[in-house]
Amino acid sequence: MTNLDTPPPRPVATRTVRRALSWRHATLADTIAETDTARTLIFDIPDWDGHIAGQHLDVRLTAPDDYQATRSYSLSSGPSEQPQITVERVTDGEVSPYLVDMIEPGDAIEIRGPIGGYFVWEPIRGNPLLIGGGSGIAPLRSIWRAETGTRAIVLYSAQTAERILFGDELAAGTEVDARIHLTRATHPDYESGRIGADDLQRVIESAPPDVTYVCGPTAFVEGIASYLVNLNIDPRTILTERFG
């Protein structure tokens, strides 16, 4: 049983904070085309010391006219793996089209991180239930890659089968027990329609979680969180990350 009053993870010394949270240059080492609209970017980052599952990077692009745009992207790599982010192309986005379609291995980019201490998982928190909508699955991958012990249960809501991220890994089921719902199409391998209260209830009753992570678009996160509270999950054990 997890003690909710357990002290927080070890605080980071101030000098380390300034170094980790200052902008520095990383080099794109490799890419993986996840879907037609999403790509994983694997970085070489100087002084990288690993990260806590659930943390993210801030990424900053500077245009020739010195206009800057900063965005946050969750690390989808496991805590001791080479750092990577998985980016979904947003229509008319300022940053995502560059990251998905243009940046190539060898290119430099400004990052800061790893960042985060709230939406994170460490073994002391106990068994996690992972619920993701769309690209919200990215930080959840970092958590299931961190797990030693039981397979993490993942509920994943995607629009179509073509938009499923990490599909092969989820299908293989070695580290993760995934239930995938499609909201805009049907497919024989997946559930049809949104994740509902009954889906959550079934999972909670079969494997009561110690802590629950909900990540994705704002409306998705708030809908799921309210279902969980209505199912008597302690709100202090529900951690949320809204992508907008």
Least spacing, CB of residue 8 vs other proteins, in Å: 5
Asked if 199 is part of the footprint of other proteins (rule: CB under 8 A), the reply reads no
CB atoms within 10 A of CB 160: 14
Least spacing, CB of residue 95 vs other proteins, in Å: 11
133 to 173, 179, 213, 221: CA distances (angstroms): 19, 12, 11, 8
Q: In sequence order, which residues have a C-beta less than 8 Å from that of residue 93 and are 6 or more positions away?
A: none
* Minimum CB distance to other proteins smaller for 17 or for 33: 17
Least spacing, CB of residue 73 vs other proteins, in Å: 10
Q: Mind giving me the DSSP string for 123-188?
A: GGG-SEEEEEEGGGHHHHHHHHHH--SSPEEEEEEESSGGG-TTHHHHHH-SSEEEEEEESS---T
Asked if 8 is part of the footprint of other proteins (rule: CB under 8 A), the reply reads yes
Least spacing, CB of residue 74 vs other proteins, in Å: 9
Asked if 193 is part of the footprint of other proteins (rule: CB under 8 A), the reply reads no
Piece in contact with other proteins (CB under 8 A), picked from 5-13, 28-36, 80-88, 163-171: 5-13
Strand 84-88 with 152-158, pairing: unpaired
| Member of 40, 76, 135, 240 binding other proteins (CB under 8 A) | 240
* Minimum CB distance to other proteins smaller for 57 or for 203: 57
- Site for other proteins, residues 90 to 119, rule: CB under 8 A: 112-113, 115-119
Task: Give a three-class secondary structure readout of 68-125.
Answer: EEEEEEEECCCCCCCCEEEEECCCCCCCHHHHHHCCCCCCEEEEEEEECCCCCECHHH
Asked if 243 is part of the footprint of other proteins (rule: CB under 8 A), the reply reads yes
Piece in contact with other proteins (CB under 8 A), picked from 8-16, 29-37, 40-48, 175-183: 8-16
* Minimum CB distance to other proteins smaller for 125 or for 191: 125
Piece in contact with other proteins (CB under 8 A), picked from 42-50, 172-180, 189-197, 236-244: 236-244
Q: What does the angle CA 32 – CA 217 – CA 36 come to, to the nearest 5 degrees?
A: 30
Piece in contact with other proteins (CB under 8 A), picked from 13-21, 98-106, 125-133, 159-167: 13-21
Block residue for tokens 């790509």: 39
Please state, in angstroms and rounded to a whole number, the distance separating the CA atoms of residues 25 and 214. 31
- Site for other proteins, residues 32 to 71, rule: CB under 8 A: 56, 58, 68, 70
**Footprint of other proteins on this chain (CB under 8 A)?**
8, 10-14, 16-18, 21-22, 56, 58, 68, 70, 72, 112-113, 115-120, 218, 239-244
